Amino acid sequence: MTSIDKYLFQAMDSYPYSLEETLESLDYALSYDENNTMALCLYGRLYSEQLQKFDIAKSYFQKALSIDIQALEVYPYYIEALLFNEDYEEADTLIEFALKIKGINKIEIKLKEVLLHEMQQDLLKALELAKLLKLYVFNSEWNTVIEETEKRLKQKKKILFGEPKKKKKEKKKENSDVETKEKEAK
């Protein structure tokens, strides 16, 4: 194991619980290799997730991808920073590109795509995409996330569009069932 790996592991282990230790380890890692995409990505996350300085975060993510377009670890966090900064077009373009990269965690990127549509309040599209998420899952650890996402989207859909109205046939059947139960009770 190289020294840079040691400092990267320390930074990853410290983040987000000890930001001071994370920064110290990242600085040491970057002093060994200023072009290390993992260290740059973690710096981007720190600025995005902890400080909400999205422009600075984006510059770290962009630098990492300019060094290695195959830096798979960068894409989910970069997309998330773009979404929270409301850079929706840029996020959409990056999602589209990321899904073409061999080896990328497609479920993670597809979840970001759902989030993109949700944040744009295009709940019907978000729900449609959420229903397809299970096609990208190859183990059960994502099932809870998918179920919670669908549940959240359905609740938002109800808020925006109200409860779906029942069809006349269903209402007649319900009334008929109630009348039958009342007769049986007598």
Nearest C-alpha neighbor of 11 from the set 51, 35, 40: 40
Residue 163 structural domain: 123-186
Q: Report if residue 113 sits inside a domain.
A: no
Q: Are 94 and 75 spatial neighbours (Cβ–Cβ below 8 Å)? A: yes
3-state SS record for 77-114: HHHHHHHHCCCHHHHHHHHHHHCCCCCCCHHHHHHHHH
What integer pLDDT is reported at residue 97 of this predicted model? 98
Band of the pLDDT at 185, cuts 50, 70, 90?
low
Same domain, 67 and 16: yes
Q: Are 58 and 82 spatial neighbours (Cβ–Cβ below 8 Å)? A: yes
> Last residue of some domain: 104, 139, 168?
104
Three-point CA angle 69, 133, 118, nearest 5°: 85
What integer pLDDT is reported at residue 172 of this predicted model? 59
Q: What is the pLDDT of residues 47-90, one digit of tens each?
A: 999 999 999 999 999 999 999 999 999 999 999 999 999 999 99
Q: What is the pLDDT of residues 162-183, one digit of tens each?
A: 887 666 566 556 666 656 656 6
Q: Is 84 exposed, middle or buried (0-12, 13-18, 19+ CB in 10 A)?
A: middle
Q: Could you give the count of Cα atoms lying within 13 Å of 165 in the half-sphere of its Cβ? A: 2
Tokens 């983040």: give the residue: 15
Band of the pLDDT at 2, cuts 50, 70, 90?
confident
Same domain, 136 and 77: no
Q: What is the pLDDT of residues 142-161, one digit of tens each?
A: 999 999 999 999 999 999 88
Same domain, 14 and 59: yes
What integer pLDDT is reported at residue 175 of this predicted model? 60
Same domain, 70 and 133: no
What integer pLDDT is reported at residue 160 of this predicted model? 85
**Looking at residue 96, which CATH number applies to its domain?**
1.25.40.10
Q: What is the pLDDT of residues 103-112, one digit of tens each?
A: 999 999 999 9
As given in the structure block, the two tokens for residue 49 are: 């997730």
Looking at the structure of the chain, the number of domains it has is: 2
As given in the structure block, the two tokens for residue 66 are: 């300019």
Same domain, 9 and 41: yes
Same domain, 145 and 89: no
